Amino acid sequence: MQRLSLIAFYLSGALIVATGLFYYPKWQQPDTEATLSWDVSGYYLYLPATFIYKDIRQLNWWEAVDQKYHPGPGMGQAFRHASGNFVMKYPMGQALQFLPWFAVANMLAEPLGYPADGFSRPYQTAIGWGSLLVALLGLWFLRRNLLYYFSDRTVAVVLICIAFGTNYLEYTAITGAMTHNWLFTLYCLLIFSTIQFYRKPSFSWAAAIGLLVGWATLTRPTEIISVLIPLLWGIGSMPALRDRFLFFKTHFPKIALAAVLSGVVIFMQAAYWKYATGEWIVYSYQEQGFSWLHPHLSDVLFSARAGWLVYSPVMIFAVLGLFWLRNPTPDPSPDGRGDVAPNATFNVASPLPSGEGSGAGLIPVVLIYCLTALYITSAWDIWWYGGSLGQRAMVQAYPVWAFALGAFADWITGSKKQWIKWLFVVLAALCIYLNLWWTHQAHRGGLFVAEQMTKRYMLKVLGRFGAERDWLKLLDTKEEFKGSERRDVRVVYTNDFEADTTGAVTSNAPIAGSKSLILNAEKQFSPAYIAYSPPENPDATPKWVRATVTFRCDPKEWDFWRMTQFIVRFKSNGNIVKERMIRLQRHVDGSEVKTVFFDTKLPPGHFDNMEVLFWNADGDKTILLDDLRVEVFNEHDT
């Protein structure tokens, strides 16, 4: 009996359930923090449109729902097609997975005193709780799959590392209604079905494989690569490849059944497009697409914004495990419970272990699938995947990456060098702590800022639990004066806008005096104010410049892309040689008056002048600015 892996499963499941039910119950959150919000609401939209409002083409009901529940960016989850009808942005596979939970909520909503409108509390709760149950199901089958190839102890290590040490926790316990959690479970079921099919080929297991591949693809079209799993599983040599072709020929009717069922499931999306638009194929992501020749690989792996190995560093062990994959400890029993003696031999066509070193059969499928999934993830133009904590698009690949992680853990646990084991324990514990800390900061701590993280800001807040508002400047600018004291401080420019005759000012409720600079929907740019020119003697040029302004915005612009930019720009011969900026609205909670500054190093080499300007970044909110001041200074000698 595998006690350690069973304990690891219970601990991992307890963490997921406790986080989802008590730490951050998302179905209790309002607006865009609710379970059915943002992308989830887009995947889900098919269900209320079909079963409640009977309107899946015009979506005339959506405006009322949007005004009441504010689930996302207006009608950002569907677009108006040339046919005049709306088309859902996302495919319907996730909606089909939601269907049983939606049906329960729809049946209970009115008896419980809630409107049966598809977005009230019963629907949020049903989808949220259903997501937790699906996560536990996936984790259970992940354990079952790994036990075919690895020792009980190794499987326990893998489960703990994935559940406690990666963003799998985020995308099961909190944002589990996203596709990644559900696809993770589909992949675990697909691997299990593949194993069973090759052990005992049958029409039922073939049908399961076809349905699971089709369903994964219907959920996210790029998951068509899931077909690599049943095709390549266990092929570790040229003789094994030849045996696989023979196997397919022998069992062609079963293979054909799997292919037909997969095609039927995928065809459901084409049928919807035909019904909605009159066209069989519609690219519903519009301007979003892939850069196949220029994938963002380094960003996906290492960026502060959403780097996979930055926010889930324990998966570095999985990457290393690709090199250890040829020697897992197999358990060739039919159910992974150790009921058959080690080194038992199976049918030559079987992709499962048949003695020492047979884990080489895992190398092609794990390597090809994992690298393909990573490439597709990196090629997507929006490589940071919205408000992603790390790379959320990698989560569904974890059931396959788990075999590489298992290979590494197998090497660690089998090592005779105790220091290697203890080093792994220390590093894994640190990775787990970081993952739990980042998960907390993404929801209650507030130090993780989705889509906007930078290296400087990340290093500033790493490991902390308190926050200073000034740190938010590092989300926009790379530079920060860290000296304890400034010296040679000299004011080189001031402007209270009282004498301004450019028409860029207003006398309506100014911040100070009788006039303030104003920006709004009509006035997007301020004049560029020449604030400083360097001295002729380069040795007398200061090292730093500090720009300060007082401002008031009413109301505040919350969309960071449209926040007013406070810009410092250095020019030479009319060309920009350096530019830095901060977004002003980051530094206020509402309409209060606030004075902010930011520091910038003067660029090396020659420049003609430095100018200061403001841009409302296409925002439609009004902002008043006053008392602009520019100082130059040097660092204090220590």
CB 80 within 8 A of CB 132: no
DSSP 28: G
Q: Edge to edge, what strands does the sheet with 529-532 contain?
A: 529-532, 609-615, 565-572, 575-583
* pLDDT number for residue 637: 62
Backbone angles phi, psi at 320, to 5 degrees: -65, -35
491 and 373 assigned to the same domain: no
Residue 439 placed within a domain: no
pLDDT of residue 1: 61
The CATH number linked to 537 is 2.60.120.260
Query: pLDDT value at position 540?
Result: 84
Do 485 and 401 lie in a common domain?
A: no
What pLDDT is recorded for position 206? 98
Question: For residue range 313-355, what is the model confidence (pLDDT) as tens digits?
Answer: 999 999 999 998 874 444 445 454 443 333 333 232 344 443 3
**pLDDT at 360 (0 to 100):** 60
Name the token pair of 269.
Answer: 């999306």
196 inside domain: yes
| One domain for residues 377 and 500 | no
Same domain, 515 and 384: no
Handedness of CA 144, 146, 150, 156 (dihedral sign): negative
Beta-carbon contacts of 24 under 8 Å, excluding residues fewer than 6 positions away, are 173, 174, 443, 444
User: How far out from the chain centre does Cα 325 lie?
Assistant: 27
Q: How far is CA 179 from CA 153, 182, 202, 315, 455, in A?
A: 30, 5, 29, 20, 28
Phi, psi of 467 (to 5 degrees): -135, 150
Are residues 80 and 163 located together in one domain of the fold? yes
From CA 214, how far away is CA 198, in angstroms rounded?
A: 19
201 plus 314 within the same structural domain = yes
CA angle 374-379-383, nearest 5°? 90
Closest listed residue to residue 168, CA positions, set 194, 142, 195, 130: 142
Dihedral sign for Cα atoms in the order 399, 405, 411, 415? negative
Q: Is 447 contained in some domain?
A: no
| Domain annotation covers residue 629 | yes
Rounded distance, CA 336 to CA 355, Å? 15
Q: Is residue 550 part of a domain?
A: yes
**pLDDT for res 350:** 40
Low-confidence ranges of the chain (pLDDT < 50): 327-332, 334, 336-358, 638
pTM of the model: 0.93
For residues 351 and 385, the answer to whether their CB atoms sit within 8 Å is no
pLDDT at 330: 46
121: helix, coil or strand? helix
Residues 111 and 192 in one domain: yes
Domain boundary (371, 388, 407) is at: 407
* One domain, residues 487 and 368: no
Q: Which of 191, 214, 260, 262 is nearest to 91 (CA)?
A: 214
Q: Out of 407, 433, 467, pick the residue that ends a domain.
A: 407
The answer as to whether 418 is a domain residue is no
Q: Is 469 contained in some domain?
A: no
Contact 363, 326 (CB under 8 A): yes
Q: Could you tell me if residue 14 is inside a domain?
A: yes
Same domain, 513 and 614: yes
Element (H, E) at 87: strand 86-88
Gyration radius from the chain CA atoms: 29
Whole-Å CA distances, 474 to 277, 339, 581, 612: 46, 58, 10, 19
Name residues whose C-beta falls within 8 Å of residue 628's C-beta, 6 or more positions apart in sequence: 493, 494, 495, 496, 497, 517, 529, 547, 548, 549, 612
- Would you report the helix, strand and coil content of the chain in percent, each value rounded to 5? 50, 15, 35
Range of the domain at 618: 479-635
C-alpha distance from residue 186 to each of 94, 208, 215, 217, 442 (Å): 11, 11, 8, 11, 27
Q: By the 8 A CB rule, do 262 and 210 touch?
A: yes
Q: Given 391, 407, 423, which residue is the final one in a domain? A: 407
Q: Is the domain of 393 the same as that of 499?
A: no
- Percent with pLDDT over 70 in the chain: 94
Same domain, yes or no: 372 and 494: no
Token pair belonging to 328: 């897992």
Cα–Cα distance measured from residue 637 to residue 486, given in angstroms and rounded to the nearest whole number: 9
pLDDT number for residue 359: 52
Q: Which of 63, 77, 68, 78 is closest to 31 using CA atoms?
A: 68
What's the domain count of the chain?
2
Are 403 and 484 within one domain? no
Max intra-chain CA distance, the chain: 92
